Structure 1
Amino acid sequence: MDTDYGQWSHWINLPDGSSDWVWREEAIADLLAGHEQGALFVAGCKSNQGKFYPQFDHVVLLSAPAEVLLARVIARTNNPYGKRPEERDAILENLRVVEPLLRATATMEIDARAPIAQVVRQLERLAELRSV
């Protein structure tokens, strides 16, 4: 489930006047509580995601070096994010500030430079371990 879109996330105003794109907590809680069969993979990175960590079997960080991430966002055609210089700057800032926080709370890190089929196999193995 890609939680970066639609019903899963929304903007909130913070006390300092800035805004944050966070999970809609009720929607995420319902998603997690209502899922009963098979593996559920939840994708997204939000400042309030830690509230839900106890409900996940694994928290996986998909990581890649800055040059790989920037090359990918520049080359993709299905999403305009990352085309503007300020968006690429934000990606680099997130790598510097946010990625270490994610790494510290992840139960596993997967090198996303690997071919997509290999990354998917690693994720599927985690789901298989859960069902054993």
Structure 2
Amino acid sequence: MKRVLVTGMSGVGKTTLLDELALRGYPTVDTDYGDYYEVLNGERLWRHDRIEALLRSTPSHGKQVLFVQGTTRNQGEFYSWFDHIVLLTAPTAVLVERLTTRTKNPYGKDPAELAETLQYVGTVEPLLRKSATLEVVTTVPVSTVADIVLAHVS
């Protein structure tokens, strides 16, 4: 089974893509929920034990693909476990619109959170881009994003 990390800034559509992939029958894990992360000194980081257990339990062979979503400072420690790293991006104006109007997740509505996300576009996103095997700009319908991602990982 292939393992694919879907990463990017808040508001790029990671969860929306996972929802689409799940509808198409692919297994997905959103590490923003459950006990996949811990907060250390105010920062959310992936828990080594939980992420390793997830990735170890996924066979490395087979035709199926597991999609894992998340963005944390320590995610690079797990890159060797993934066959592909997909970076989702969007123009800042699109991010602002999505974050301030979304209804399923409150993150980004607070002006400080929005400012933090926009700062990360300039500081964190370039680092993610260096490790990505694919970058998709999510200004197209999610079905198109899913088609692009699936074509890449097939």
Asked if these proteins are the same fold (TM beyond 0.5), I'd say: yes
Other-structure match for 2:124 = 98
* Superposition deviation, residue 98 in structure 1: 0.4
Runs of 4+ in 1 over 4 A off after TM superposition: none
For residues 127 and 108 of structure 1, do their structure 2 counterparts lie closer, same or farther at Cα, with a shift above 3 Å needed?
A: closer
* Superposition deviation, residue 126 in structure 1: 3.0
Q: Deviations over 1:61-91 (max 9, x none)?
A: 1000111011011111111111111111011
More strand by share: 2
Q: Deviations over 1:72-120 (max 9, x none)?
A: 1111111111111111101111111100110111111011111100111
Q: Aligned with 1:47: secondary structure?
A: coil
Q: Structure 2-normalised TM-score?
A: 0.76
Q: Gapped runs of 5+ residues in structure 1?
A: 14-18
Amino acid at match of 1:66: T
Q: Gapped runs of 5+ residues in structure 2?
A: 1-28
Distance 1:20 1:47 in 2: 9
Other-structure match for 1:21 = 44
Between 1 and 2, higher relative CO (CA 8 Å, sep ≥ 6) is seen in: 2
CA-atom RMSD in angstroms = 1.2
More helix by share: 1
Amino acid at match of 1:30: A
Q: Structure 1-normalised TM-score?
A: 0.88
Distance 1:126 1:104 in 2: 17
Larger Rg: 1
Check if 1:2 corresponds to 2:25: no
Aligned residues: 123
The percentage of aligned residue pairs carrying the same residue is 42
